[in-house]
Amino acid sequence: MRNKLILALLIGLYFAAVSLAQPPPPPETITRPAADDTALVADFYPASEDAPALILLHMLNSRRGAWNPLIPDLHEAGYAILNIDMRGHGDSDGEQDWDAIIADMAGWVDWLAQSEHSGVAGLAFIGGSIGANVALISCAENDACRGAIALSPGLDYRGVKPEPALVDGLAERLALLVAAQADSSSSTAIRQMFLNAKGDVSARIYPGRAHGTRLLDSRYDSVSGLILGWLAELFAADE
């Protein structure tokens, strides 16, 4: 599949619905042990049994609540959502060990597969900043994952380097890379990643300097429309 640079992706079709989503019911808070018995915490928003599932990963020194602006629109679109506090963040125990955090993702994918809403229709990761790097790597490492959305990824955050995963591991899958122009490390990174990727990769660079999940604060309608449109295309391709 050839790369494609997308300046707008189904945004017009979605704008009418943006900001009209009703708040979802309160999530189920999940606490589960990692392979090393570290207690990990996430919020789970169920959907229909045949709904695709999304795993959300926050930024460094952030927590799962950073995704709260986007969750109503994702939920209304029919996705099951697993919104994770990565280890060493929020309510999850442990240290900020990035190798362990990446390993934790396989456990969360297994938890989804065993849950009542297993994401049999497909799975995608969405991450911000270092969470974007983890999302790209984790998607490449899990066969159930159809694609990943990376808000402000970098070439090397704390030793987490996603480009090999994007180039090789996601060669037969999809990725959406998003950054702000003045966020130079991320905008430079996604240009390089886009040029080197082998799979179906879309990229969008916005004005300004907002980073990671802060893109939801600065350009919510456009970013959420982009995400929802891309996800609709991703899962429609699996039907």
Residues 76-114: tens digit of each pLDDT: 999 999 999 999 999 999 999 999 999 999 999 999 988
Number of H helices, E strands in the chain: 8, 8
Would you kindly state where each structural domain of the chain is located, as residue ranges? 11-236
Element (H, E) at 38: none
- Owner of token pair 């934790």: 104
Q: pLDDT band at residue 6, thresholds of 50, 70 and 90?
A: very low
Give the predicted TM-score (pTM) of the model.
0.90
**What is the homologous superfamily of the domain 11-236 according to CATH?**
Alpha/Beta hydrolase fold, catalytic domain (3.40.50.1820)
Q: Which two tokens stand for residue 114?
A: 């065993």
* Residue 217, Ramachandran bin (φ over 0: left; ψ between -120 and 50: alpha; else beta): alpha
